[in-house]
Amino acid sequence: MTKFDTLLVANRGEIACRVMRTARAMGLRTVAVYSDADANARHVREADEAVRLGPAAARDSYLKVEAVIEAARRTGAGAIHPGYGFLSENGPFVDALEQAGIIFVGPPASAIAAMGDKSAAKARMAHAGVPLVPGYHGDDQDDALLKAEADKIGYPVLLKASAGGGGKGMRVVESAAGFQAALDGCRRESQAAFGDQRMLIEKYLTQPRHVEVQVFCDRHGNGVYLFERDCSVQRRHQKVLEEAPAPGMTDALRREMGEAAVRAAKEIGYVGAGTVEFLLDADGSFFFMEMNTRLQVEHPVTEMITGQDLVEWQLRVAMGERLPLAQDELTITGHSFEARLYAEDPEQDFLPATGRLDRFALDLEGAGLDANKVRLDSGVESGDVVSMHYDPMLAKLIVHGADRDQALATLNRALAALDVQGVVTNRAFLQRLATHPAFKACELDTRFIEKHEATLFATQEVTTEAYAAAALIGLKQLARECESDSPWDRHDGFRLNAPHTIRLALCATGHDLTRAQAPDADDVVIVEGTRETDADPWHLTIGDTTLTARLQHLEGDAVAVTLDGHRRRLQARLGDNGVVVMADPSGETRLFWRRIDAIDHGQHEAESTLTAPMHGTVVALLVEPGQKVEKGMPLMVMEAMKMEHTMSAPADGHVASFHFAAGDTVGQGDVLLEFAPEE
């Protein structure tokens, strides 16, 4: 056996904190590594020691093999746990650790290499008797050949980065017409994420479930499966909600898939924790997708139903011990869900969000939840800053129940009790997913979100209190922006010897309120505010209703809205671009507001410029200045938090000039280009 007393965690965020929690429980000293952007991060604060790796960019810090190994030497760390992402599936890193005499908490480099090349992995799986999806996994990467293979397989097909994972370099191609553009985009993402442009093509099953099996092997030839997880609910091929065990799984199918997964692991001489991912078709047939040679993000749901600590298993196997349990000693108890909380805006095509977390808390006692049934794995705390440099996942909310219905009820109560303020998140979207009738009925497949888009993104019924609070905050903000010693310089509705009157347009759908025609849209509500002096209450006219209204700011983002003498406490916050976030019993209502005169004069500006929707990096310019384009045509590509986002033409016309080049970093709201609409 090879013991060690100090563990370096070569990662950040929630997984670094989670690994260190188990390491401390086992009596190990913990070492964190960090970039300049993470100097005050939670994983740094919680470690016994911490070592700086370099600047914020991952390539200059967390991906620097030499710097990580030097940090281990400086701190006397006998082993390194890679977490997931970054160096977790990097074979040369494992080889370098072996040469340095440092234990890698994970599989041998040969196993990583065997599964890291997706094409070669398919051949190994066929040899092991593991079912495969029809596709092309060859070395010839000529564009014409790939297109011909896709045509032969039949659309839709799935393009996947051969060296990839985590949804990077992966796109569904619905028809031959879109193949080349999808191929180019996948190659860019794959090159940026993995330094490798090779692609493989698979038949895209139209209603499959994503079911994966947790496997574990030791150095003594033992291998077990710790049952399965259903990860079908995804956006952009990245998981959002996971559960264990998979609904509708029979004992026979569970055993068949589990044994196939163990065969896959043993075929490549695997050691440690790994996950074999399958597509499960409606008829019960299943097909190998890939194997993730590391601990998965969703491992806690397996821990919940088995009562096992998988990180402890990893560390013990790394020390040379045998697996703690044999296959017949493993059992399933109850049901578990995991919801991934991302700093992103589901209403804006899941754009990543950045900023300061003013508040981040889960009030279990107030929600009447059992602390033994609810777990929050987080890498952030109140006051932390969410940067543009890394994955937007903030935390994982994991729950357990006696059965699926009970676990789902607990998940919904826990999501409602999760208080996140200061950064836009997908919390309300997770609530809509978890309460969706189809999800509750186990009608699952990998296109769940796309299939139910109409209901998941349906316009919410906005209360009068929400409209009033949004209008009052908007009116107060306008008054603050327009303060002046002279009434002649004010633009807040001031009129000599007359009440102040301001008209606002509000909507909850993300409607483009910079357009002159927006107030005429069905989803836009016009609010008129009038008052005699600053000390008087506002008289708000919302549609056909007129109310006397006051707004009082309480602690944090809490406000009191009084309408015709009826006082109600709400959570409300003024955000970027005039967005107000309201917390109410039904979840989260977000209202966009603009002053009417700003709308009336904003059309030329909106059509002549295109601004960055988030902080990020320019990846590619897709057209030349002066080139004629049609509305919706892609103009440029940005990358933020490891994902690409395409900026499209707002109308027919041409790009007069670009303000940035490929490789430039831009901030949210920066003007990216000058656009000339067609006359």
Catalytic residues: 294
Residue with tokens 């998940």: 411
Contact predicate 578/489, CB 8 Å: no
Of 242, 291, 276, 587, nearest in space to 396 by CA: 242
Q: Look up residue 60 and give its amino acid.
A: D
Q: What is the largest CA-CA distance in the chain?
A: 90
**Phi (first) and psi of residue 18, to 5 degrees:** -65, -45
Long-range Cβ pairs for the range 504-507 (8 Å, 24+) = 504/471, 504/474, 504/475, 504/528, 504/529, 504/593, 504/594, 504/595, 504/596, 505/593, 505/594, 505/595, 505/596, 505/599, 506/467, 506/470, 506/471, 506/474, 506/591, 506/592, 506/593, 507/591, 507/592
Rounded to an integer, what distance in angstroms lies between the CA atom of residue 54 and that of residue 52? Answer: 6
For 585, other C-beta atoms within 10 Å of its C-beta total: 6
d(C-alpha 406, C-alpha 298), whole Å: 20
Q: Is the peptide bond before 156 cis (omega within 30 degrees of 0)?
A: yes
Cβ distance 375 to 398 under 8 Å?
Answer: yes
The DSSP call for residue 495 is B
DSSP 527-560: EEEEESSTTSPEEEEETTEEEEEEEEE-STTEEE
How many Cα atoms within 13 Å fall on the side-chain side of residue 6?
Answer: 16
Assign 503 to helix, strand or coil: strand
Is 50:34 a contact under the CB 8 Å cutoff? yes
Q: What is the 3-state secondary structure (H, E, C) of 131-198?
A: CECCEECCCCCCHHHHHHHHHHHCCCEEEEECCCCCCCCEEEECCHHHHHHHHHHHHHHHHHHHCCCC
Q: Pairing between strand 634-640 and 6-9?
A: unpaired
33: tokens are 């590594």
Q: Which amino acid is at 472?
A: L
Among residues 338, 386, 356, the alpha carbon closest in space to that of 641 is found at: 386
The tokens for 542 are 């919302």
Give the bridge partners for 364, in sequence order. Answer: none
Report the C-alpha gap between 518 and 509 in whole angstroms. 12
By residue count, the chain amounts to 679
- The helix (H) or strand (E) run that includes residue 568 is strand 566-574
